Amino acid sequence: MAHLSARADTAYDNAYHHKLRGRLWGALSGTEYDERHDANEPPGFAYSNPFPPRDMRAGDERKLLVAAPEEPLLTHVVRDLQTERELNIGEMPFRVEDMSAFSPDVGEPGTRGTLETGTGLLVRIPPWRCDEYGIDHPGGDTAVFWRPEHTTEPLLNQLEANLDKKHGLFCPEYLPGPSDVEGELFDSYELIKTFAVPVQVTERETRTYVLSKWRFGYTVRDDDHRRHLNLALDCGLGERNSLGFGFVNVVEKQGPFGEPAPEVHGR
């Protein structure tokens, strides 16, 4: 977690994605993780927005979370932010005042809790699966952004397939992935909202993405399920995590015997 202080009175800039992504990839430049930049694969990290997300005065405090399943990757990011403490995220100028570390965990088997998608979830239905879900497709090769009228079935299938891919990349090969085990990732699904946001994806191109925010309830069944949910905390859910989408927090958690768990990190 980076502890930030605003360097000027500033309106909150919701178009922060491109600039913040650039700083994080810059921190990984020249490292063993640099080649992931153009690999068209999940990058193996996820990050929050600067929070709380509201206008600020000079000296106001904000926080930024960066997560990854590989500690050396986070070490590069921390080293970069400690070396160059000026952090300009879009139109928001910050100074990195401090860094702290923690290991979020959904909890041991039997733990019940809720994950919330802090930065919006990007899920696209590939054209070859639209007929299966009864989704009208405009034609061509373009994927369809998930919307509430598509029901949760395609959304959950795509989330599991995406997490399967991340499991194959970042977990030991001999361990079962989400689709290799019985049971669902989540017990319950609460849609908070859907929204569209224009995002600068390259220096010359801006695209509009349709995103959704969710609360997902869970009960940890066993160690495999725990690993799958923790992978979502480390890598993010859904697509385009390198743009800051799909970052998830544990917002509620109770241990197997109903005791409250203190490790909750809000956004």
Contact predicate 143/125, CB 8 Å: yes
**CB 114 within 8 Å of CB 252:** yes
**Contact of 19 with 88, CB cutoff 8 Å:** yes
- Tell me the two tokens of residue 33: 């993780």
Peptide bond before residue 148 is cis, with ω within 30 degrees of 0:
no
Half-sphere exposure of 137 (CA within 13 A, CB side): 17
Contact 145, 155 (CB under 8 A): no
Which DSSP string corresponds to 66-78? EE-S-HHHHHHHH
Helices 152-170 and 223-235 meet at what angle, rounded to 10? 90
What is the enclosing helix (H) or strand (E) of 197?
Answer: strand 188-200
Distance separating alpha carbons of residues 155 and 150, to the nearest angstrom: 8
Residue tagged active-site, from 9, 13, 34, 38: 38
**Nearest Cα to Cα of residue 234 among 173, 184, 170:** 170
164 assigned to active site: no
Cα–Cα distance list, 169 to 41, 69, 164 (Å): 9, 10, 9
Distance CA 266, CA 46 (A): 15
Question: Catalytic site residues?
Answer: 38
